[in-house]
């Protein structure tokens, strides 16, 4: 019974804390650039406001346009079942899929949003979908190489096994193979959370990618999409923190005190990772869109080096 409650708690943690992570990033990104920045709860206020507005659909939209937000939102509620969010041991449904399965579920949500962007009939929607697919064509092989590198390093693709391998064997954690995998996944984190220096997070520039795909949405459907995007960011931060770079601090017994300590550890880990992401965004100047392949090429090299390092370890 306790493990079932913890599994529900993992999903609720992602559901409720994802807007707080987004608020933290937006606030301190502005602070670094010497602006005041929005409050930590601003994403929650935006979601509440959007849920209270009317939904307006484009004349050319089909059922895909309406279904995409629900598919993306449901996909983001499924992945927390498979990954270590609060505990370092598998919960009742955690063995339903490995890291590859979680990645496929995340991709399913993005796939439907791409379809909806084109289904809207808007030139911006088509442009955003085309750009996302173009970047995905280069990012997906890197993701597969990272999965292969994990399998070679830990002899498993289950996130809990990888977590235990890195905690129990410092020589594996500090091995070149693991460090190259961390570097490759960090670039993928920037790609999947739309933090590449080619991206514009506002909806008023032609360089927008994610915002272009959802530009025709409004009201509750737009709220679901934005909430799903925040949960995707939280999930990727969780995998990067609890599996790759900081695998410590998870509850080993599932007790109430242990879970509270894990929530504090998550806040600290995410602050460190978000600080690194904000640093990259602040230091790196904006690139032309057609230079998108440069960071992805670096990630590809890191992933290949990880596989080579695994063979000579």
The larger pLDDT score, comparing residue 159 to residue 18, is at: 18
Of the listed ranges 4-8, 198-202, 292-296, 307-311, the least confidently predicted one is 198-202
Burial 285-310 (b: 16+ CB within 10 A, else e): eeeebeebeebbeebbebbebbbebb
Average pLDDT over residues 111-131: 83
What pLDDT shows up at residue 269? Answer: 92
Cβ atoms 310, 153 nearer than 8 A: yes
Give the phi and the psi of residue 66 in degrees, each rounded to 5.
-80, -35
The candidate with the shortest Cα–Cα distance to 183, out of 130, 240, 228, is 240
Average pLDDT over residues 102-114: 85
What pLDDT shows up at residue 297? Answer: 87
What pLDDT shows up at residue 199? Answer: 57
pLDDT band at 46 (very low <50, low <70, confident <90, very high): very high
d(C-alpha 176, C-alpha 161), whole Å: 19
Residue 202 has pLDDT above 60, yes or no: no
End-to-end CA distance of the chain: 42
pLDDT band at 203 (very low <50, low <70, confident <90, very high): low
Residue 70 has pLDDT above 70, yes or no: yes
Give the phi and the psi of residue 195 in degrees, each rounded to 5.
-115, 10
E-only strand ranges, the chain = none
What pLDDT shows up at residue 197? Answer: 67
**Tokens coding 312:** 């000579």
The larger pLDDT score, comparing residue 183 to residue 213, is at: 183
What pLDDT shows up at residue 15? Answer: 93
């Amino acid at each position: 019974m306790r493990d079932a409650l913890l599994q529900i708690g993992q999903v609720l943690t992602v559901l409720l804390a994802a807007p707080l992570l987004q608020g933290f990033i937006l606030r301190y990104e502005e602070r670094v650039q010497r602006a005041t920045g929005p409050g930590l709860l601003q994403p929650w206020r935006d979601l509440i406001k959007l849920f209270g507005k009317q939904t307006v659909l484009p004349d050319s939209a089909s059922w895909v346009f309406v279904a995409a937000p629900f598919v993306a939102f449901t996909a983001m509620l499924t992945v927390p079942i498979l990954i270590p969010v609060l505990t370092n041991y598998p919960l009742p449904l955690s063995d339903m899929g490995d890291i590859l399965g979680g990645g496929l579920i995340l991709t399913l949500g993005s796939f439907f949003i791409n379809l909806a962007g084109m289904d809207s009939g808007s030139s911006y929607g088509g442009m955003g979908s085309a750009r996302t697919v173009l970047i995905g064509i280069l990012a997906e092989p890197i993701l597969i190489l990272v999965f292969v590198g994990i399998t070679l390093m830990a002899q498993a693709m289950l996130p809990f096994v990888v977590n235990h391998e890195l905690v129990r064997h410092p020589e594996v954690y500090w091995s070149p193979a693991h460090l190259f995998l961390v570097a490759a996944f960090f670039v993928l984190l920037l790609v999947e959370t739309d933090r590449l220096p080619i991206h514009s997070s506002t909806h008023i520039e032609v360089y927008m990618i994610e915002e272009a795909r959802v530009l025709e949405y409004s009201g509750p459907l737009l709220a679901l999409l934005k909430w799903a995007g925040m949960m995707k960011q939280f999930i990727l931060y969780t995998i990067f923190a609890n599996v790759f770079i900081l695998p410590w601090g998870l509850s080993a017994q599932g007790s109430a005190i242990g879970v509270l300590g894990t929530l504090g550890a998550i806040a600290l880990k995410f602050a460190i990772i978000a600080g690194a992401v904000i640093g990259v965004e602040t230091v790196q100047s904006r690139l032309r869109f057609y230079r998108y392949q440069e960071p992805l090429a670096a990630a590809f090299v890191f992933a290949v080096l990880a596989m080579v390092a695994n063979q000579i370890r």
